[in-house]
Amino acid sequence: MASVARIASALAILAGLGACASADRDGARTLATAGVTATGAISAEVGARADRLAAKALVYNFDHAYTLMRSCGGPNDPITNTGRGGTCDIISTAEQLRDDGVSRNLARLAHIVRLRARAVDQLAAAYRALAAEADYDARGDFETKIGQATQGVNTLAGAVGLGPLPAIATTGARILGGQLATNAQQRRLVGGSARLQAIAIHLREALAKEQVLHAQLDAVASSIEADGRRSLAIAGLIEPLPSLRQVVTSSAFPATDDSALQSALGRDPALNAAAQVAALAARPDPSAPALEAAIAVLDALIADHRDFEARRTLSLADLTASVARLTELIAAAKADLAPPAPPAPPAPAAGGNAP
Amino acid sequence: MTTGKDVLEIALRNFEQARDGKQADLDAAEGKPALVKAVLDNYGAALATYLETLADAFQAATGNWDQLFKDATDAEKALTDARAKAAAIGDTIVAMGELSDAVGKLVEAVKKPGSSAGPAPPAPPPS
């Protein structure tokens, strides 16, 4: 599965290619690069989706165990660590959760979603094969080989007293052979594009067909996430600063630095509570836009195929924009999964402009 | 007849009911770990069933994705093979040229005076 960094560098290459000629090798190279970039972005989206699902098992197990253990600890129900059963035993609870249906089915779903990425990755490999064909200088290779063959024929012709082939015949054979090779390569490139376009259309349909299922899966994942956040809040682990910072940033007030926010949170319990409420009430971004963006990437790629096959100039604007949008959404979803960034170093003292 | 969609809807409804009632049930079971565990297990069972139904629905479309994988594999092979074949045609031409060269050199060798392979050249006329 492609990483966001790799997609970003592919986007840079794509931007550098710009609009290219129609069904020639440059056009095919551009189309193939677009295909590799698009499939890379879609594969990363599908992979991130599978990772998010797999991560939900941990959140579910934590929420289940914390809710249970909070009811334990009394003289009749002490928290134990023996593995000999019992409602409040850590090991027994862990063993039950490891084998229960939620963990098993979340793992199964993550696996099924990853299988989708495998098909997308294979399509990327097919685009790389198209790129290799576009890179292959069929005309040059053919002309060189005809040149080499002519030398051998001349040797024979000289030996049997016919003399070397006339220069015009040699040149003619080379030009004709080169043109035939070019035509054959163009047919291979257009045929290859048509074949890949059909697969891209199939992929688009497959993704669109599963959109409703993905939306349902996203909803249940959000529900697990909300339970986990609730438990963290009960444990007093909701950090109010980030949500307060977000409130300040999205208001029209001048920016306040973190130390000022932190001291306000320390002296005002109501502010602290409100910031925690805001953090808890925030709904995670649904990942449906990422799936829609993946479909938009395929639409743009399919349009590029049509232009290439109709020998029109490729316009990469739509593809570049949709891949950029998808990459942005994947990066945002990954940031949700990643641990929070360490606090920023204190701002330098005022008193001068940076050089 | 119950369709896959119906099964999914029933599982979703069951899950939503379990989720919506979970907190009230937990509140009622407060301080009784065995009851809390029963509430959590009941919720977990509804969640697991819903996830399993979703997984089945995804699994039902897996044939479609397997076909995609196969088509992409075939396309990659076809593109790679076609290029190799095109390059091989050029190689055949070179091979024919090399053969002509070898035959030409052989003919030259046969024609050379003193060659054991060919007839002896006529003796020079006496001066």
pLDDT tens string A280-292: 887 665 567 888 9
To the question of pTM greater than 0.90 for the whole model, the response is: no
The mean predicted confidence, pLDDT, of chain A is 85
Give the model's pLDDT for residue A350. 35
Max Cα-Cα span within chain A: 114
Confidence band for A258, pLDDT divided at 50, 70 and 90: very high
Confidence band for A351, pLDDT divided at 50, 70 and 90: very low
Q: Is the pLDDT of residue A343 over 50?
A: no
Q: Residue B83 is nearest to which of A128, A133, A156, comparing CB atoms?
A: A133
Q: Which residue of A has its CA nearest to B94?
A: A149
Task: Compute the Cα dihedral for A147, A153, A155, A157 and give only its sign.
Answer: negative
Output B109-115 pairs: Cβ under 8 A, ≥24 positions apart.
B111/A159
Task: Compute the Cα dihedral for B40, B43, B49, B54 and give only its sign.
Answer: negative
Q: Is the pLDDT of residue A212 over 80?
A: yes
What is the mean predicted confidence (pLDDT) over A268-294?
Answer: 85
Q: Which residue of B has its CA nearest to A150?
A: B97
Of A164 and B12, the one with more pLDDT: B12
Which residues of A are less than 8 Å from B102 in CB distance? 152
Give the model's pLDDT for residue A344. 47
From B28's Cα to the closest Cα of chain A, the distance in A is 12
Give the model's pLDDT for residue A335. 66
Cβ–Cβ under 8 Å, residues A218 and A288? yes
What is the mean predicted confidence (pLDDT) over A255-265?
Answer: 90
Cβ–Cβ under 8 Å, residues B44 and A63? no
CA distance A214 to A222: 12
- Tell me which of B52, B71, B81 to substitute to probe the interface with A (most A C-beta atoms closer than 10 Å): B71
What is the mean predicted confidence (pLDDT) over A223-241?
Answer: 92
- Tell me which of A42, A67, A71 to substitute to probe the interface with B (most B C-beta atoms closer than 10 Å): A71
Pick the closest to residue A280 from A338, A340, A235, A240 (CA basis).
Answer: A240
Q: Is the pLDDT of residue B127 over 60?
A: no
Confidence band for A106, pLDDT divided at 50, 70 and 90: very high
Which residues of A are less than 8 Å from B86 in CB distance? 136, 138, 181, 184-185, 188
Give the model's pLDDT for residue B112. 72
pLDDT tens string A131-142: 999 999 888 888
Angle between helix axes A288-309 and A317-337 (nearest 10 degrees) is 160
Q: Is the pLDDT of residue A345 over 70?
A: no
Give the model's pLDDT for residue A287. 62
Note whether ipTM > 0.95 here: no
Give the model's pLDDT for residue A216. 92
pLDDT tens string B76-114: 999 999 999 988 887 787 788 778 778 777 777 777 766
Burial class of A293 by CB neighbour count within 10 A (0 to 12, 13 to 18, 19+):
buried
Confidence band for B122, pLDDT divided at 50, 70 and 90: low
pLDDT tens string B1-35: 567 778 999 999 999 999 999 999 999 999 899 99
Q: Is the pLDDT of residue A22 over 70?
A: no
Q: Is the pLDDT of residue A355 over 60?
A: no
CA distance A250 to A165: 81
Residue with the two structure tokens 């006529």: B122
From A248's Cα to the closest Cα of chain B, the distance in A is 33
Of B125 and B109, the one with more pLDDT: B109
SS (H, E, C) chain B: CCCHHHHHHHHHHHHHHHHHHHHHHHHHCCCCHHHHHHHHHHHHHHHHHHHHHHHHHHHHCHHHHHHHHHHHHHHHHHHHHHHHHHHHHHHHHHHHHHHHHHHHHHHHHHHCCCCCCCCCCCCCCCC
Which of A84-88, B45-49, B81-85 is modeled with the greatest confidence? Answer: B45-49
Check if A137 contacts B (Cβ < 8 Å).
Answer: no
CA distance A137 to A121: 26
Which residues of B are less than 8 Å from A197 in CB distance? none
**A80: helix, coil or strand?**
strand
Cβ–Cβ under 8 Å, residues A302 and A208? no
**A89: helix, coil or strand?**
strand
User: Is A213 in Cβ contact with B57 (below 8 Å)?
Assistant: yes
Which residues of A are less than 8 Å from B107 in CB distance? 156, 159-160
What is the mean predicted confidence (pLDDT) over A82-102?
Answer: 93
Beta partners for residue A80, in sequence order:
A89
Return the C-alpha torsion angle B80, B84, B85, B89, nearest 10.
Answer: 160
What is the mean predicted confidence (pLDDT) over A265-278?
Answer: 94
Confidence band for A354, pLDDT divided at 50, 70 and 90: very low
Cβ–Cβ under 8 Å, residues A137 and B83? no
Check if A67 contacts B (Cβ < 8 Å).
Answer: yes
End-to-end CA distance of chain B: 116
Give the model's pLDDT for residue A166. 77
From B67's Cα to the closest Cα of chain A, the distance in A is 9
For A132-160, b/e burial (b = at least 16 CB within 10 A) is ebbebebbebbbebbbbbbbbbbbbbbbe
Number of Cβ pairs < 8 A linking chain A and chain B:
204
- Tell me which of A62, A145, A230 to substitute to probe the interface with B (most B C-beta atoms closer than 10 Å): A145
Give the model's pLDDT for residue A348. 39
Check if A74 contacts B (Cβ < 8 Å).
Answer: yes
From B34's Cα to the closest Cα of chain A, the distance in A is 6
Give the model's pLDDT for residue B26. 95
